[in-house]
Amino acid sequence: MRRLRALLLKEFIQMKRDRLTFAMMVGLPIIQLLVFGFAINTDVKHLSTVVFDQSLQQESRDLLGAFTASEYFDIKYTARSYQEVADIIEQGKAKVGIIIPPDFSDSIKHSRSAAVQVIVDASDSMAASSAISTAQLIGQLKSEEILVKKLQAAGAQKPARPYDIRIRPWYNPDLVSAFYMVPGILGIILTMTMVMITSMAIVRERERGTLEQLIVTPLKSYELMLGKIIPYIFVGYIQATLALAVGIVVFDLPMQGSLALLYGLTTLFIVASLALGILISTVTRTQMQAMQLSFFIFLPSILLSGFMFPREAMPDFFRMIGYLLPLTYYLEIMRGIVLKGVGVSFLWTQILALCVFITVMLTVSILKFQKRLV
Amino acid sequence: MLAVETSDLTRKFGEFTAVNKLNLAIRRGSIYGFLGPNGSGKSTTIRMLCGLLKPTAGTGTVMGLDIGQDSEQIKSQIGYMSQKFSLYDDLTVSENLAFYAGMYDLPADAARRKIQEMLELAHLADSKNELAANLSGGYKQRLALGCAILHKPPILFLDEPTGGVDPKSRRMFWDIIYALADAGSTVMVTTHFMDEAEHCDAIGFIYEGNLIADDSPHKLKMSLPGIFITIPADNPMELMQQLAEERLPALDIYPHGASVRILTEEKTLGYYRRFAYQITSPSLEDVFVYYVKNRRQEAPR
Ligand SMILES: Nc1ncnc2c1ncn2[C@@H]1O[C@H](COP(=O)(O)OP(=O)(O)OP(=O)(O)O)[C@@H](O)[C@H]1O
Ligand SMILES: [Mg+2]
């Protein structure tokens, strides 16, 4: 116990003195979450729009007003010909063109269907699909509005609950949302920092030469491993807490499930990542190798865990590899607790998987680590 | 009872033999000086004894424990100071001491007492709150020694503890080593300083991985097959040339400052009568030069 205590104390002192690294461990999750969160944010608003209004009547202004009010379209240019609309879009000044025919108002007044043309630059598919669906929705709503007015004018009763003018605040064809991303990003951040820190832990002592003095003492291998893991659980907590706070404050992350359960299982994931790092640290000889091996873990973690791509759609081989990564289980846990509010009874498989992972990693590390120099 | 005993201890790195069939026997309570030129295998030998390296062949015991099987038990018996400073640069002097007190499982009050004792012994009390990184060479080595003897090990391995150390610290070091040996500890120490070697109870001289001499300083000097004489000369090379042409009997001959040193048998001393020679007692350096030359003739590599 005294040995472990001395080891922990030493790690904390070193962590405290290495301000830069500590600042990075704390600052990184916030920055990454913000960058990732906004970059992957699929909520596409304020598309630059050019309008060719040939009608210039009350009705057409009304329709354009609806487009502007949706916040998806910013009318920046007014064109005087088809050609001008085409040019502006081609030059990339506008992503959307709206063309209202000369007989727009007449058609509405005479209850003929009025054809409004919306041209979308689809080279940015996310923006395009967003624009298309919003435009369709506006068209639909406007038609209903006019229909209702007409009915009212014809003497019908005002419907009990008039149509809902609100447009869905956001459009998300692939069910990818900031909500959905934030738990994943948290997992990625934890994987990256935890694996990276511990993968350096033992090789760094080896490279600096301090390991030589350390291993002529009666220190046990498992004590060394624990001494390198425990301090970073706290760092993991700080990161998780910061990331969750950013998620809730900036991205309106709903916190459906139990916070205690979330923290409990986050601990499990942190330990799993640290154990993986420790294993890397015992099989490598230099910090450079450790770094490379860590990156070798990150790539599959990002691609195969279900963070980027749905695992259901993966070929079997890659899906199986995903099962070897702690992040895969943690994502299921996080999304379950944060988004769906599930309890521990739904998460046993994942918990068990993480426990097995930790046991295997630590056992192999302890067996693999020789208290020798070469 | 022997503190260290090895039989044909060998360590290879690939094809290269760093330590070759070493047979050591170090008495308990003695100071054993381990000498040899750079790269001769001193550190490698000590590392094998401390369990840091596995021997590729041969066996050995430290305090009666087998270095192969009992390497973990050995670790609580030894103090080790490596050639390169290997304490934590980003910890202070007292934090380093406290850390190693913890590693050797000293109870809190014993640890506190020991740390204080070490600070005084190594004259580090004034810099106990300095980061190890900011210490000068001599201070660093004293701190390393403090960390190595904190737990009062019965045997101490010091790998070139006085390399790059100022004379004052060097003196202090040896005072501590004597005190430890007086108190019954065994000390195995490597050094490049001949004056330090003179103070050892026994000396082993290792050359290209082979132990080529191993005895007390006095006996080693006696073991030379002849007498050393010194002939002053303004131009030693010229004199050597002249001696060689006259084919005067010499076992060894080499320039030494403004003189020539000659090892010759007592009965042939008369040949040198016409030179104003002086009989000088051999230094350890003379002994080693002789053994190395002998070795080269026997087994050229
Ligand atoms: N890990 C290693 N891998 C390969 N060769 C090594 C290794 N360690 C030592 N050697 C080689 O073994 C030889 C003996 O090295 P060692 O460090 O024991 O010498 P030394 O007597 O301590 O020298 P010095 O006085 O310079 O400290 C050297 O040639 C060295 O290059
Ligand atoms: Mg050496």
- What is the spatial distance between Cα A215 and Cα A167, in angstroms, rounded to a whole number? 66
Half-sphere exposure of B261 (CA within 13 A, CB side): 17
Q: What is the pLDDT of residues A38-75, one digit of tens each?
A: 766 555 678 889 999 998 888 888 888 888 887 788 89
A2–B107 CB contact, under 8 Å: yes
Name which of A32-36, A50-54, B133-137, B263-267 the model is least confident about.
A32-36
DSSP string computed for chain B: -EEEEEEEEEEEETTEEEEEEE--EEETT-EEEEE--TTSSHHHHHHHHTTSS--SEEEEEETTEETTT-HHHHHTTEEEE-SS--S-TTSBHHHHHHHHHHHTT--HHHHHHHHHHHHHHTT-GGGTTSBGGGS-HHHHHHHHHHHHHTT--SEEEESSTTTT--HHHHHHHHHHHHHHHHTT-EEEEE-S-HHHHHTSSEEEEEETTEEEEEE-HHHHHHTSSSEEEEEE-SSHHHHHHHHHHHT---SEEEE-SSEEEEEE-GGGGGGGTTS--EE-PPPHHHHHHHHHHHHHHHS--
pLDDT at B12: 95
Give the distance from residue B286's alpha carbon to the nearest chain A alpha carbon, in angstroms: 35
- Per the DSSP assignment, residues forming a β-bridge with A120 are A96
pLDDT at A161: 43
User: For residue B267, what are its two tokens?
Assistant: 């009965």
Surface-to-core class of residue B42, CB atoms within 10 Å of its CB (0-12 exposed, 13-18 middle, 19+ buried): buried
Q: Specify whether domain B2-220 bears CATH 3.40.50.300.
A: yes
- Classify domain A47-153 at the CATH class level: alpha beta
Of B53, B106, B60, B1, the closest CA to residue B211 belongs to B60
Q: What is the pLDDT of residues A90-131, one digit of tens each?
A: 888 888 899 998 988 888 888 777 788 888 887 766 677 777
Q: What is the ipTM of this complex?
A: 0.87
Q: How far away, in angstroms, is A351 Cα from ligand 1 center? A: 49
B147–A373 CB contact, under 8 Å: no
Q: Which band of pLDDT confidence, cut at 50, 70 and 90, is reported for residue A176?
A: very low
Give the distance from residue B87's alpha carbon to the nearest chain A alpha carbon, in angstroms: 6
Q: What is the mean pLDDT of residues A180-207?
A: 87
Q: What is the mean pLDDT of residues A266-279?
A: 94
Q: Is the CB of B191 under 6 A from ligand 1?
A: no
Q: What is the pLDDT of residues A118-172, one digit of tens each?
A: 888 877 666 777 777 788 888 877 887 787 777 777 776 655 444 443 434 333 3
How many residue contacts between A and B have a Cβ separation below 8 Å? 81
B52–A13 CB contact, under 8 Å: no
Q: Which band of pLDDT confidence, cut at 50, 70 and 90, is reported for residue A346?
A: confident
Give the distance from residue B199's alpha carbon to the nearest chain A alpha carbon, in angstroms: 27
Cβ proximity of A238 and A189 under 8 Å: no
What is the residue type of A316?
D
A372–B51 CB contact, under 8 Å: yes
Residues of chain B with Cβ-Cβ distance to A227 below 8 Å are none
Q: Is the CB of B54 under 6 A from ligand 1?
A: no
Q: What is the pLDDT of residues A278-309, one digit of tens each?
A: 999 999 989 999 999 998 888 888 888 888 77
B91–A10 CB contact, under 8 Å: yes
Residues of chain A with Cβ-Cβ distance to B91 below 8 Å are 10, 13-14
Q: How far away, in angstroms, is B163 Cα from ligand 2 center? A: 10
A212–B100 CB contact, under 8 Å: no
Q: Is the CB of B83 under 6 A from ligand 1?
A: yes
Q: Does A204 touch chain B (CB under 8 A)?
A: no
Q: How far away, in angstroms, is B223 Cα from ligand 1 center? A: 29
Q: Is the CB of B39 under 6 A from ligand 1?
A: yes
Q: How far away, in angstroms, is B53 Cα from ligand 2 center? A: 14
Give the per-residue SS3 of chain A. CHHHHHHHHHHHHHHHHCHHHHHHHHHHHHHHHHHHHHHHCCCCCCEEEEEEECCCCHHHHHHHHHHHHCCCEEEEEECCCHHHHHHHHHCCCCCEEEEECCCHHHHHHCCCCCCCEEEECCCCHHHHHHHHHHHHHHHHHHHHHHHHHHHHHCCCCCCCCCCCCCCCCCCCCCCCCHHHHHHHHHHHHHHHHHHHHHHHHHHHHHHHCHHHHHCCCCCCHHHHHHHHHHHHHHHHHHHHHHHHHHHHHHHCCCCCCCHHHHHHHHHHHHHHHHHHHHHHHHHCCCHHHHHHHHHHHHHHHHHHCCCCCCHHHCCHHHHHHHHCCHHHHHHHHHHHHHHHCCCHHHCHHHHHHHHHHHHHHHHHHHHHCCCCCC
- What is the spatial distance between Cα B17 and Cα B13, in angstroms, rounded to a whole number? 6
Q: Which band of pLDDT confidence, cut at 50, 70 and 90, is reported for residue A174?
A: very low
Question: Which of A17, A209, A371 lies closest to B84 in CB terms?
Answer: A209
Q: What is the pLDDT of residues B134-192, one digit of tens each?
A: 998 889 999 999 999 999 999 999 999 988 888 888 888 899 999 999 999 999 999 98
pLDDT at B246: 84
Q: Which residue has the higher pLDDT, A180 or B61?
A: B61
Q: How far away, in angstroms, is B99 Cα from ligand 1 center? A: 29
Q: Estimate the crossing angle of helix B137-149 against helix B108-121, to 10 degrees.
A: 140
pLDDT at A28: 79
Q: Which atom of ligand 1 is nearest to the CA of B44?
A: 18
Q: Regarding the domain delimited by B225-281, which CATH topology (the fold level of the hierarchy) does it fall under?
A: Alpha-Beta Plaits (3.30.70)
Of A186, A315, A163, the closest CA to residue A247 belongs to A186
Q: Can you give the residue ranges of every domain in chain B?
A: 2-220, 225-281
Cβ proximity of A109 and A61 under 8 Å: no
Length of chain A: 374
Q: Is the CB of B178 under 6 A from ligand 1?
A: no
- What is the spatial distance between Cα A169 and Cα A105, in angstroms, rounded to a whole number? 29
Q: Is the pLDDT of residue B212 over 70?
A: yes
CA dihedral A307, A311, A316, A321 (to 10 degrees): 30
Q: Which band of pLDDT confidence, cut at 50, 70 and 90, is reported for residue B64?
A: very high
A372–B147 CB contact, under 8 Å: no
pLDDT at A178: 63
pLDDT at B155: 96
Model pTM greater than 0.95?
A: no
Q: Can you give the residue ranges of every domain in chain A?
A: 2-40+176-373, 47-153
